Chain A
Amino acid sequence: MSETMVMTGNEAAATGAKLARVQVIAAYPITPQSPVVETLSAWVESGELPAEFVAVESEHSALTVCIGASTVGARTFTATSSNGLAYMNEQVWWAAGARLPIVMCIANRAMAAPWNVLNDQQDSMSERDAGWVQLYCRDNQEILDTTVQAFLIAERLNVPVMVCYDGFLLSHTMMPVTVPEAGEIDAFLPKRPAPLTVVDPGDPRNIGPVVLADPRADSSGVVSPGYMELRAQHHRALLAAIDAIPEVDTEYGAVTGRSWGGLTWEHLLDDAEVVLIAAGSLATQATLTAEALRAEGVKAGVLGIRAYRPFPVEALREKLTGRRLALVFDKALSYGYDGPICTDLRGSLLGIEGVPAVFGAVCGLGGRDTSPEDLAAAARRAIADLDAGMRTRATDWINLHLEGE
């Protein structure tokens, strides 16, 4: 029987990893992720979770341990935040390029400098190009369910998956979470299939050596791919996740009764003219905003981004065609340009008939409180700008208090 318990987002992540029967866990502390690995450590120590727990000396080594263990076929897990993820950066690329199905939870936290331990999504959004699947969760139940799903997605496609959730807002907030029975998850998530990487003295391989730009023949004349072919295969695996993510979500639903919308999710979207778009708990808040705007007579709805990589281009085109306005709330920024979801969305809609104007708003950096009312005020400004004839405009910074402005 599944059991409903009250737990934090971090405990939900750890529980998801346990249900997935991870075999090797690498751990290094950083706020607000630390309770994930603390919880797993206690379970390994007590024997509740039979796994190797490697308490490394840095995040760089944490992901490296996962890389080494995953290469020999083990199911591996780690978690981090913010500067920890940035410190891993080299290995974030390595894990993806080596096509290792590692799952890593990110308790999203602002990047230093200056120091700030609170939430925004700059850390994981900055890794969008590294070749990982990135999924964003809206509550603690979704964190548990997505962590389990992530292993199946990763192992089907041989790509690593980041499960991202907002630091403190979810990581440290208690919510009721239904924990599936172990047997249910075992039926959903079989043992890891044989890895692409063969590590066997009886069949020796040189894994991850220097690869030249062009395809190259071995001494028997058999031609193997060049660097660019390997990158194209990796890209195709990410694109295949466009199908795999909803499939896995549906399969999970068949076993547990819960699905999360696959690539995107929606609230009051059917007849919406104004669509509020965000990822994570911010999108949950936007559902209250949409309801408030509807009470004012504005046909508002929410389109939540669950998969940020691969970016759900087709789904967004389909769901946004015919709307008046798409207002994107980003908790991250490409400095000198714009919010990452906003710019990706603009690019996705470019040249498509009947798509809405896309306005961006940046909010919540470094944990700055953003209430549903703040989002509603931003939506009213955006609607006024649109009514005034604007089709594009500068990014709105919500709750910004610069002196003299």
Chain B
Amino acid sequence: MLIGYTLVGTNDMQRALAFYDALFSAVGIGRMIELPTLAGWGVSWEKPIFGIAIPADGQPASAGNGAMVALGQRTRDKVRLLHAKALEMGGTDHGPPGVRGQEGSNAFYAAYVRDLDGNKLCFYCVGPGDEDT
């Protein structure tokens, strides 16, 4: 059992498309699916896809409190890049890039943002600092 895909809701598909296109293209990731009510980005069909959707019930989209999608990155540099890009695109800061916990070979380096619909995202990298690798 694996996460196949995870969707967050949006009330403005065009605005959300523009936000995530710009965000993910900063790390070379493109769109994999685009339907009228759903779009998804990912590295390949064999890997989990992150997507946005207009709610199936026709009610306004909302962000779940306690819900978060965490996107793993290979380097701390990419964590910083994504955090900066998300803010540049109008996302809100929920924790700047930095080590949470102890530095070391299994250090957790993360940054937190909310997208334009308020959905919480984490960008993170597990491992030693980039300069050590």
Q: Do these two chains interact?
A: no
User: Which A residues contact B (CB, under 8 angstroms)?
Assistant: none
Chain B residues engaging chain A, CB cutoff 8 angstroms = none
